[in-house]
Homo-oligomer: A and B are copies of this chain.
Amino acid sequence: MKSDIKVLKDGGVTSAQGFVAAGISAGIKPDSKKDMALVYSVNPAQVGATFTTNLVKAAPVKVSMTHARNGTVRGVILNSGNANACTGVRGIKNARTMVEETAEALDCKPKEILVCSTGRIGVQLPMNKIGRGIKKAVSKLDIDGGVEAAKAIMTSDTFRKEYAVRVEIDGRKVTIGGIAKGAGMIHPQMATMLSVITTDVAIDKIALRKCVYNAVEQSFNRISVDGDTSTNDTVIVLANSMAQNPVLKSYSPQLDLFQRALTTVMRHLSRMIVKDGEGVSRMVEVIVKGAASFADAKAAALAVAHSPLVKCSWCGGDPNWGRLMDAIGYSGARIKEEMVEIYYDGVLAVANGEASRTPVARLRKAVSKPAFTITIHLHTGTGEYSVLTTDLTEKYVEFNKGE
């Protein structure tokens, strides 16, 4: 095992040098739960960010996309309880006001602030509460504030999601840590997964964006609870160079280590999101190998991960491989039925497109674990893809059917 990436116990978004955070209650949520968070860098930080591909983008996404494009960033203001999505021109004005009020309180420029919202769609933000909340959050900024920030962005999450690692780059200790909130649109009228990750690495903009893109592709873009891409999905990475390592560039040999460390943080945060998916009873990694192309592998894996029938069978611990064959068949991936091989957690279930000789009891045991893999070998090429997903349970339906 590689040990060049060290996990920090209780690490989070304030583990890296020069980052402070706060999480407070602004009264957006009804029950005085924490609902606003602020992450702040004492130095101007390079920023790499990815946003939802949904054409219906929440107002804060539109504003943050502009601010993340150019220049450096000082902070991220976040609220839960209201997604500020489908709120028209007024919604965009409100997102801008959030940014302006935060910048004023922190004595920086509005374009140095990013903004995220998560919660109910289609309702205007309570701007008085937000304004008071921003001042409160700024006054509470603290080097130990990461935990409170992680709590304040939760909606239907049942546990807070934090993770941090440390690596050594050119003799300097570099820390990467972050927070995240629930994936899938898993709460009634709630939307969004959000993640803010901070690092004290010194890195130029191009190298950072490349690393963020790669890490997101290997982590947050490989999880699926219900296949619904929200209007608010946002991942923001701030790098403030306080570790004082020689600035990482695209061609730096050390960039690989930073890339792996960043991917590790994102993979852990995204795994927590899947584990905390509403009503989830099993976590399943679907791995497709030997596809005609990467695109074919991805199509087959996602068809399996999105099939309600497949997900129901996982819920019941039923090794129903016929449904896997069916999903692969309609996925659009180029396949030859008689070449397909399927393993449940390493146990052969399907050989040459037909039932293997494995006793059903053994297959049943493999799929009755709380977490298992499904490996599908198409034997038509070298394309590979994997996705981490969940079962579909009665509890999921109950939770999401509204009142």
Contacts and interface: CB of A to CB of B under 8 A. Distances in A.
A326 to B, nearest CB: 5
A55 interface: yes
Task: Classify chain A's interface size.
Answer: 35 or more
Nearest to A230: B326
Interface string A105-134: 000000000000000111100000000000
A317 interface: yes
A71 interface: no
Given A353-B86, A401-B315, A121 B326 contact: yes
A257 interface: no
Contacts of A355: 86, 122-123
A309 B56 contact: no
A402 interface: yes
Contacts of A338: 88
A403 B335 contact: no
B308 A392 contact: yes
Contact of A397 (B122, B315, B335, B354): B315
A170 interface: no
Interface string A84-104: 011110000000000000000
A194 interface: no
A325 B228 CA distance: 11
A400 B120 CA distance: 31
Given A308-B308, A394-B397, A403-B316, A86 B354 contact: yes
B397 A393 contact: yes
Interface string A308-346: 110011011110111101111110001101100000000
Contacts of A325: 56, 85-86, 121-122, 231
A188 B86 contact: no
Nearest to A321: B122
A295 B121 CA distance: 27
Contacts of A370: none
- Report whether over half of chain A's contact residues are helix, strand or loop; otherwise say mixed: loop
A107 to B, nearest CB: 35
A316 B401 contact: yes
Interface in A267-284: none
A227 B310 CA distance: 11
B228 A326 contact: yes
A326 B87 contact: no
B229 A353 contact: no
A403 B361 CA distance: 13
A398 interface: yes
A90 to B, nearest CB: 9
21 contacts: A54-B326, A54-B329, A56-B325, A56-B328, A56-B330, A86-B325, A86-B353, A86-B354, A88-B352, A122-B322, A122-B354, A189-B323, A227-B308, A228-B309, A231-B325, A308-B308, A312-B396, A312-B402, A317-B402, A318-B402, A393-B397
Interface of A: 53-57, 83, 85-88, 120-123, 184-185, 188-189, 191, 226-231, 306-309, 312-313, 315-318, 320-323, 325-330, 334-335, 337-338, 350, 352-355, 392-394, 396-398, 400-403
